[in-house]
A and B are shown apart, each in its own frame.
Chain A
Amino acid sequence: MKTAVIVFPGSNCDRDIAVALEAVTGIAPAMVWHGESELPAGAGVIALPGGFSYGDYLRCGAIAARSPIVRAVVEAAGRGTPVLGVCNGFQVLTETGLLPGALMRNEALDFVCRDVALTVENAQTAFTSRYAAGEIVHFPVAHHDGNYNADAETLDRLEGEGRVAFRYAEPVNGSARGIAGVFNTAGNVLGMMPHPERRIEAAHGGDDGRRLFEGLLETVGA
């Protein structure tokens, strides 16, 4: 299975997510620069990494969401290609409109950088098939703007449609209803603030994150 990692100026988790994808596919992902306008042929999974794309000027992820390659990512998502956005990647996905809501400054204004407990809310998706619903997993977070915000109607819809992927099992950043990650309507786009790619082997302190990549690659036919 070929995969692709989008690299923006200011991305800093692109290599981490590439290592995670290579660990489960055995093939190094294509690293695709933001100025490209086409994705590599056959890329079965696209990852938008964490970092501070374009310095997070204007709003987190705002400029990246309007870059040439992200137009191609939006088109691929529309065709059903799985897209995973982590941290800044999640912010980019909300800015494109692929995912609802917005990520705002953490409620307590501090940069949160630690391991957090998450509850797996929906285990019946390509991204979460290796987890059990209600299971508690631990992923690191490292963000200043992870406070998920959407209107009540949108939040009700996300919950009603099983589109909350992960919820914080402890106070982290003030996110509405503790939401840590959400799916699009079709279920092929996941955005999340916590970093599964930083928890893929024992040396990371556990491999809770590895199962996300394994499940995803298994589902899409690695």
Chain B
Amino acid sequence: MKVRVVVTLKPGVLDPQGKAVHKALGGLGFAGVSDVRTGKLIEMEVADDTSDAALDEMCRKLLANTVIENYRIERA
């Protein structure tokens, strides 16, 4: 089974990369973009019987740093 973990910076945490992307979009002439936040997408192939709790633990222990990041787990 495919699982996707989306890791994003918590609201309020400065995202310098997002800011740089935002600026570059402006430089290309794209108007109307008010903010850009970058993040990570992690795709995993896991056993079908992997529990929600196990996936959550993977996120908390390694895939996300919960000091600065939020995560969302999506089962395919």
Chain B residues with CB under 8 Å of chain A are: 13-14, 16-17, 20, 61-63, 65, 67-68
Contact = CB atoms under 8 A, between A and B. Distances in A.
The A interface is mostly helix, strand or loop, or mixed, namely: loop
A114 interface: no
Given A58-B62, A62-B62, A66-B62, A104 B67 contact: no
Q: Which 10 A-B pairs have the closest CB atoms?
A: A102-B67, A102-B68, A105-B16, A109-B16, A107-B16, A109-B20, A102-B65, A59-B65, A149-B68, A105-B17
Interface of A: 58-59, 62, 66, 94-95, 100-102, 104-109, 147, 149-150, 174
Contact of B65 (A62, A108, A109): A62
A33 to B, nearest CB: 21
Contacts of A66: 61-62
Contact of A104 (B14, B20, B62): B14
A94 B14 contact: no
Contact of A149 (B13, B17, B20): B13
Contacts of B61: 66
A109 B13 CA distance: 15
B17 A109 contact: yes
Contact of B67 (A107, A150, A174): A150
